[in-house]
Structure 1
Amino acid sequence: MAKSAKRRTPLWARLTAIFGGVLMVTSGGVLVTGQALISKYTSGLDAGSTLVGDPAEGATKGSAEIKGPLNILMAGIDPRDEKTPPLSDSIIVAHIPASMDQVYMFSIPRDLYVDIPAFKATGFGGGKAKINSAMSYGSSVGNGKHDVRQGFQLLTKTVSQLTGIDSFDAGAIINFGGFKKIVEAMGGVTMKIDMTVKSEHLKPNGKPRDRRPECADNKCDHPYIGEQKVYKPGTYHLKAWEALDYVRQRYGLPNSDYDRQRHQQQFIKAMAKQAMSKGVVTNPSKMLKILDAAGDALTFGAANGTSVLDWGLALKDLNTDNMVSIKLDGGGVFDPATNRYYGEKLADGSQAFFQAVRDDKIQEFLLAHPEFINKNS
């Protein structure tokens, strides 16, 4: 009996740990493909994180230390090599209140025109630019190479300055290409599509669209031609490539990136429900596939010795049905003399919302300002 129990314990621990990881990201935490930086950062994630090894080795000694309210910052990037400056094409903040039973998600527009702070590590002196470039300004490590984790520190400083959130309790960098493997391991995702969306990049069969001959150098804004994949309103079970393609689209949408932000939040909520469903949680085969898919793409770090399992247990009471998607409206910023477009600015009222986040009073704020809720999510 002792021998048998010894064999089963690591498997149970590994399954529970990966379930904790799934629970974290889909609840606003971190199931990450790419690199995850989960840590009790201070002063805008200036501090580094201590990376832990196999989550199966982690104990639950730190779960009691993870208490709300919690703010978690997630940045999505396209697959890039270490010589290409990273851009955060998706920026999402998740707020978990002190009750630890709910999640509020809001997106920071990628084109938001903001003050990016100076960053000593790269010699960047600070200045105004689109917020998605903050990672790029903070990522250089010399010899033409870039570190997305270092770039994430400057992104965090920038988001902290924008929102007034002094520190984030966790952070994640999500590589969109790697995330496809996780969705495949979960057997796709069932989600509601709320508008007709045409793919900029893919044909109906998932293969890349043809390029115009004059755009072979990748310098055209819209280089693709020919038939495209079309997503129509309704509820569908999407394959991994379809889900990834759908949530990346912004061209041709009535509200461009603002619609894409809503779709990304809908996707996270759909993944949360699926991860919490009996079909995934109680099926060891599916859970092992998720673990294998994560592989080296999942890097976890935490302060005070807390592990993925600790976070999973700490967030065990989160209700995916209570995930609330927030919309932050905005408008363009233009040069008054030349009408040159610089980026986006947030609408009036956004600072009041950020104050509610800092005070852990989002529910009260939304009762008074229901227009901030994404009702289609």
Structure 2
Amino acid sequence: MSESPRSRLRVRPRHVVRWVAVVVVLILVATIVYAVYNYQHFVNGVTHIDAIPAASSSSSSSKGENILLVGDDHRPANASAEELAQLGTTADGGGTNTDSMLILHIPDGGGKATLISLPRDSWVDIPGHGMGKLNAAFAYGSDSGGDAGGAQLLVKTVQNLTSLHIDHFVRISMIGFYDVAKALGPLKVCLVSAVNDSYSTFVAPAGVSTLNAQQALAFVRQRHGLPNGDIDREARQRYFLSAEAKNFLTASTLLNPGKLNSALTAVSGAIQTDKGLNWLSLAAQLKNIAGGNLNSSTIPITGTPTIYYNGSAVSIVQVDTAKMPAFVASSIRRPSRRRPRRPAA
């Protein structure tokens, strides 16, 4: 007797469920392997240095991690004229002055992060060197101690200035910045006024513009012609971090193996950091940064005077040290959790 249609229907779902389970397992395994491979590929490309001083003079009571993010003006060795043109710079060798400095504060429990800008011309006490511009600290330290010595002296200087303990250090060079911007693709900006700056080579009309890697680098380097100079440039740098984090987390990057590999290679090959940095913890903040769920501010200042130091006129950013403790406390303060009121008896 032939099999009835009803009996055939009772057999088929079992085969379907079995194959669906196999496919789901294979997808999960492939996803895990893909994630582990990309993570190891990224970590193996990072350059590690002893950036954090063994002893800290900071008296910070903040909870969470503070990561010092810096960018310098270093050009690649033996760069061709074409490469320098892409960077919008000249063959003057650049330097190790850290012209971009920000503190990323990540609170315990994964709360809202805070990004604090440190103006490069901040007039501060650099241990062992007296008063000077903040961006010179790394260069002073690297003269005798290489990149590790430069990082440690900058960390000490920032800790003394803010009383925040710096837990980790991340540094990116000009060429590294360019490579990252190139790997992640175009960046959209909206300008109030047209720009034609010969110093940074940034040229753009008023309104919305889509920038390639060269233009993006020029955009964050420009300070001449901006109403507040370096302070406005810092705002651009914070915007760039947020925009590129969002760019990285798009499906067009994460689900494109070639683009993701290029982006991870560019980022890991562009940075120096201390050995103890937890990349998974930092990566967890990318979503918040990309979504704009981030507090951002600049340390308090009293003005940008020109002073005379050792017989020369020097334009500086005068830090308001009196307001610094309150500023730091308010910047990293976690929102209070109010207990629900009991209903009246």
TM over 0.5: yes
Conserved 8 A contact 1:73-1:172:
yes
For residues 229-285 of structure 1, the C-alpha deviation after alignment (integer angstroms, 9 at most, x for no partner) is 422343333111111001101112111111111111111111121122222223222
Conserved 8 A contact 2:49-2:148:
yes
For the pair 1:281 / 2:304, whether they are aligned, the reply is no
Q: Per the alignment, in what secondary structure is the counterpart of residue 108 of structure 2? A: coil
For residues 31-66 of structure 1, the C-alpha deviation after alignment (integer angstroms, 9 at most, x for no partner) is xx99565977664599xxxxxxxxxxxxxxxxxxxx
Determine which structure has greater relative contact order: mean sequence separation of CA pairs < 8 Å that are 6+ residues apart, divided by chain length: 1
Counterpart pick for 2:225 among 252, 263, 278: 252
Q: Structure 2 vs 1, CA of residues 335 and 38 (structure 1 numbering), >3 Å: closer, same or farther?
A: closer
2:16 corresponds to which residue?
A: none
* Cα distance in 2, alignment partners of residues 250 and 350 from structure 1: 25
Residue 96 of structure 1 and its aligned partner are, at CA, apart by 1.7
Q: Structure 2 vs 1, CA of residues 181 and 17 (structure 1 numbering), >3 Å: closer, same or farther?
A: same
1:133 corresponds to which residue?
A: 136
For residues 330-363 of structure 1, the C-alpha deviation after alignment (integer angstroms, 9 at most, x for no partner) is 4125349x89435221246344212334xx3166
1:349 corresponds to which residue?
A: 323
Conserved 8 A contact 1:36-1:174:
no
- Give the AA of the match of 1:103: A
For the pair 1:321 / 2:344, whether they are aligned, the reply is no
For the pair 1:98 / 2:108, whether they are aligned, the reply is yes
Conserved 8 A contact 2:196-2:203:
yes
Higher mean C-alpha displacement, 287-296 vs 152-161: 287-296
Q: Per the alignment, in what secondary structure is the counterpart of residue 148 of structure 1? A: helix
2:183 corresponds to which residue?
A: 185
Residue 199 of structure 1 and its aligned partner are, at CA, apart by 2.5
* Cα distance in 2, alignment partners of residues 156 and 117 from structure 1: 11
Residue 201 of structure 1 and its aligned partner are, at CA, apart by 3.7
* Cα distance in 2, alignment partners of residues 268 and 362 from structure 1: 22
* Cα distance in 1, alignment partners of residues 73 and 218 from structure 2: 12
Q: Structure 2 vs 1, CA of residues 300 and 339 (structure 1 numbering), >3 Å: closer, same or farther?
A: closer
Q: Structure 2 vs 1, CA of residues 195 and 265 (structure 1 numbering), >3 Å: closer, same or farther?
A: farther
Q: Per the alignment, in what secondary structure is the counterpart of residue 102 of structure 2? A: strand
Counterpart pick for 1:117 among 108, 123, 127: 127
Residue 193 of structure 1 and its aligned partner are, at CA, apart by 3.6
1:62 corresponds to which residue?
A: none
For the pair 1:263 / 2:236, whether they are aligned, the reply is yes
Counterpart pick for 1:12 among 35, 40, 45: 35
* Cα distance in 2, alignment partners of residues 345 and 130 from structure 1: 10
* Cα distance in 1, alignment partners of residues 227 and 28 from structure 2: 57
Q: Per the alignment, in what secondary structure is the counterpart of residue 89 of structure 1? A: strand
* Cα distance in 2, alignment partners of residues 269 and 3 from structure 1: 35
- Give the AA of the match of 1:179: F
For residues 98-119 of structure 1, the C-alpha deviation after alignment (integer angstroms, 9 at most, x for no partner) is 231322112111111111112x
What is the TM-score when the length of structure 2 is the normalising length? 0.70
Residue 94 of structure 1 and its aligned partner are, at CA, apart by 1.2
- Between structure 1 and structure 2, the one with the greater Rg is 2
Percentage identity across aligned positions? 27
Residue 182 of structure 1 and its aligned partner are, at CA, apart by 1.4
- Show structure 2 runs of 5+ residues with no match: 1-21, 78-92, 337-345
Q: Structure 2 vs 1, CA of residues 255 and 140 (structure 1 numbering), >3 Å: closer, same or farther?
A: same
* Cα distance in 1, alignment partners of residues 197 and 176 from structure 2: 20
Q: Per the alignment, in what secondary structure is the counterpart of residue 139 of structure 1? A: helix
For residues 184-208 of structure 1, the C-alpha deviation after alignment (integer angstroms, 9 at most, x for no partner) is 11112234445543322466xxxxx
What is the TM-score when the length of structure 1 is the normalising length? 0.64
* Cα distance in 2, alignment partners of residues 352 and 270 from structure 1: 29
Q: Structure 2 vs 1, CA of residues 362 and 232 (structure 1 numbering), >3 Å: closer, same or farther?
A: farther
- Give the AA of the match of 1:352: A
Root-mean-square deviation (CA), in Å?
Answer: 3.8
1:238 corresponds to which residue?
A: 211
Conserved 8 A contact 2:50-2:148:
no
* Cα distance in 1, alignment partners of residues 72 and 170 from structure 2: 11
- Show structure 1 runs of 5+ residues with no match: 22-32, 47-66, 119-125, 204-228, 365-377
